Amino acid sequence: MKKNIIKILFSEKEIKKKVKNFSQISFPSNFIFKENEVIYVCLNQISDLNKLQKNFFLFQIGIKLQNFCRKGTYIIKYFGDKSLNEVNFCLGWEVGKYSFDKYKTTERNNNVATLISPFKGQIKKEKEVFFFVRDLINTPANFLGPNKIYEMGRVFLKKSFSSKKISGSELKKKFPLIHAVGKAASKEKMPILCELKSKNTKSKKKIVIIGKGVTFDTGGLNLKTGSGMALMKKDMGGAANCIGLANLIQTSKIDVNITLLLPLVENSVSRDSFRPSDIFKSRDGRFVEIGDTDAEGRLILADAISYACESKPDMIIDMATLTGASRVALGIEVPSFFCNNDQLSMELIEASQETGDPIWQLPLWENYLDQLNSNHADVKNIGNSIFGGAITAALFLKEFVKNQIPWVHVDLMAWSKPNKFSSYEGGEAMGIRALKKLIEKKFA
Ligand code: BES
Ligand code: MG
Ligand code: ZN
């Protein structure tokens, strides 16, 4: 079998040595070009970037390379900075093969190039997680209600997790906010809280991972506009990513007890919809006034966080497509995170840099907490200012975190748009490689 060579070069010196006609090439756009059957990837253009961005680009370039090569078998010769996360090329390469064509009846082009990778096992696992997360987010809400996510999650986590779900009158009594948000949906899309717990572990360390699972966000009675609603099948992207994260941990050597909590609802419009100005007693006893039915994610997370705290875990992580404001601040590729523990924040930042999986800290700025004051209840679910919406959402969640349990809240887009490396548009795994690394640092 013929193996084609891909040479990855970092410095101009190396490039001049390896590429014969260096002086004649006008510098390759998107870093990649071919000369005499060898593919060159010239990364001198990113040599000034920091570690996070370099590692991020390695992943993007992996996607682009697969697309550039199309067919055949390849090996990589890496002439570069060994402190970088080389695996990212190979992972990008595999992820670049993804397409969502379950609902396309026309045939598609199956040309795929093979990369002989030294990181085979790791790549295979991570690729599976990427594909699962993307598939789940891309599946539209007419095929994917709360129960379906629960089933898909259970199957994906196989036998190493025990599972239970709470619904109906029990949900209404024990998780009133989750019930309030989801009660307008049709019968087969009724709200549930699903709880998956890792089995077969001797570890005493416990992490609770909570994912926002709004299978569709119409905004409720505070109805979104057409364009605001267009992407809202992805509002369960937090839940999808959390299932992915649980899988990454389960298939690694990290021995830790995982509880996965997924509040799964459709934020729908019907005569049973919750209303602006309604007041609900939350699980922890505090009364919450609804300022806006479109701020539903923080409501379902609040009850799940209260429940998580009752078991006194060592750490709580939640992931949610929570605010447009976080996207305004950081764009779609960089999830924001909030954390009540400075040491943990630093470790997550490091984990992000090492993996090249971007995530950026925003402050839990307590002085904005007053914006959530309610006239008639203990707290309101929206702030009274147009500024700092990602922060006030995070502060709302923080109100439900007890005893300073170390807590990380991730506000993510869970969706990719085409860029110069990839033409893919759709659901996306974000932040989970960084979070897995964090958990490895703390608990392995
Ligand atoms: N799911 C949305 C947030 C969202 C919108 C994430 C677009 C990513 C892209 C969330 O439920 C929402 O509607 N948030 C509102 C909150 C507002 C009513 C306080 C928002 O961000 O506009
Ligand atoms: Mg909403
Ligand atoms: Zn939402």
Whether 440 contacts 252, CB under 8 Å? yes
Task: Please identify which of the residues 224, 281, 286, 402 carries the catalytic annotation.
Answer: 224
Q: Decide: 60 in ligand 1 pocket, CB within 6 A.
A: no
The DSSP bridge partners found for residue 338 are 409
Whether 116 contacts 75, CB under 8 Å? yes
Closest CA to 129 of 156, 103, 152: 156
Q: Decide: 217 in ligand 1 pocket, CB within 6 A.
A: yes
Closest CA to 301 of 205, 193, 141: 193
The pLDDT value given to residue 157: 95
**Residue 89 sits in the same domain as residue 151:** no
Whether 320 contacts 213, CB under 8 Å? no
pLDDT tens digits along 220-239: 999 999 999 999 999 999 99
The pLDDT value given to residue 35: 84
- In the numeric block, which tokens belong to residue 254? 């990290």
112: CATH = 3.40.220.10
- In the numeric block, which tokens belong to residue 95? 């992820």
pLDDT tens digits along 131-166: 999 999 999 999 999 999 999 999 999 888 999 999
**Residue 168 sits in the same domain as residue 263:** yes
The C-alpha atoms of residue 58 and residue 72 are separated, in whole angstroms, by 21
The DSSP bridge partners found for residue 196 are 163, 260
The pLDDT value given to residue 250: 93
**Residue 112 sits in the same domain as residue 207:** no
Residue 178 CB neighbours (<10 A): 30
Query: 62-66, 105-109, 336-340: which range is least confident on average?
Result: 105-109
pTM, rounded to two decimals: 0.97
**Residue 136 sits in the same domain as residue 182:** yes
**Residue 96 sits in the same domain as residue 137:** no
pLDDT tens digits along 167-195: 999 999 999 999 999 999 999 999 999 99
- Boundary-marking domain end, from 61, 85, 116: 116
The pLDDT value given to residue 33: 83
Closest CA to 98 of 426, 433, 344, 334: 426
**Residue 405 sits in the same domain as residue 424:** yes
Q: Where in the sequence is the domain holding 110, given as residue range(s)?
A: 3-116
**Residue 317 sits in the same domain as residue 412:** yes
| Distance from chain centroid for Cα 1 | 38
The DSSP bridge partners found for residue 216 are 266
**Residue 181 sits in the same domain as residue 104:** no
Whether 166 contacts 179, CB under 8 Å? no
The C-alpha atoms of residue 413 and residue 429 are separated, in whole angstroms, by 9
The helix (run of H) or strand (run of E) holding residue 53 is helix 51-69
187: CATH = 3.40.630.10
pLDDT tens digits along 388-439: 999 999 999 999 999 999 999 999 999 999 999 999 999 999 999 999 999 9
Measure 276 CA to ligand 2 centroid, in angstroms.
13
**Residue 75 sits in the same domain as residue 168:** no
**Residue 226 sits in the same domain as residue 300:** yes
The C-alpha atoms of residue 367 and residue 363 are separated, in whole angstroms, by 11
Measure 321 CA to ligand 2 centroid, in angstroms.
9
Give residue 18's pLDDT band: very low, low, confident or very high (50, 70, 90): confident
Atom nearest to 222 CA in ligand 1: 18
Q: Which of 292, 294, 413 to mutate to test the pocket of ligand 1 (most atoms within 8 A of CB)?
A: 294
**Residue 34 sits in the same domain as residue 106:** yes
Q: What are the distances in angstroms from CA 153 to CA 43, 133, 137, 435? A: 39, 10, 12, 19
How many structural domains does the chain have?
Answer: 2
- Boundary-marking domain end, from 76, 99, 116: 116
**Residue 254 sits in the same domain as residue 382:** yes
The C-alpha atoms of residue 406 and residue 338 are separated, in whole angstroms, by 11
Torsion of CA 375, 392, 368, 377, to 10 degrees: 20
Average pLDDT, the chain: 94
Whether 298 sits among the annotated catalytic residues: the reply is: yes
Q: What are the distances in angstroms from CA 62 to CA 27, 216, 295, 414? A: 19, 32, 37, 20
- Boundary-marking domain end, from 57, 83, 116: 116
